[in-house]
Amino acid sequence: MDEENRAAFFNEHNAPFAKMIGVHMTVATSERIEAEMVVTPDHCTLPTNLHGGAIMAFADNLGGCGAFLNLPEGATTSTVESKTNFLRPVPVGQTVKGVTTPVNIGRTLQVWKTEIFREDGKLAAVVTQTQIVLAPK
């Protein structure tokens, strides 16, 4: 399956929560995931800026999708650790872009880094997460 078809596959078959928050994949390869999400009032804290939990959920979905594309046949994955640095607020109405790349693809653990950008191109957050590789049962 080529990159364009993978992104479309994730947009159609992504986790229900990812669909609910509006994750839209644009690039999906084993070495890079890109997606966008429009910041709605439902994503916000007070004042009307993107909530940290929404940033983390967005990034977690992207890292999980990257891990999925690097799993051995029949294996599954789960997030076992996530760390976020919040750098700048993102106002309601903007579209954030997430760019996720592997830090390490191991046999039992994968580490992914997601950079979240505002519309002005400034970095809003960096999320590093660890995904466990669960062998088929």
The answer to whether 58 and 116 are in contact (CB under 8 A) is: yes
Residue 137: pLDDT band by 50, 70, 90 thresholds?
Answer: confident
Question: 60 to each of 36, 55, 84, 109, how far by Cα in Å?
Answer: 13, 9, 10, 15
| Block residue for tokens 């084993």 | 30
Give the global pTM. Answer: 0.95
Q: Where are the domains of the chain?
A: 3-134
pLDDT of residue 3: 66
Rounded Cα distance between 17 and 1, Å, is: 24
Reported CATH class of domain 3-134: alpha beta
- For the stretch 93-104, pLDDT in tens is 999 999 999 999
Half-sphere exposure of residue 19, counting CA atoms within 13 Å on the CB side? 9
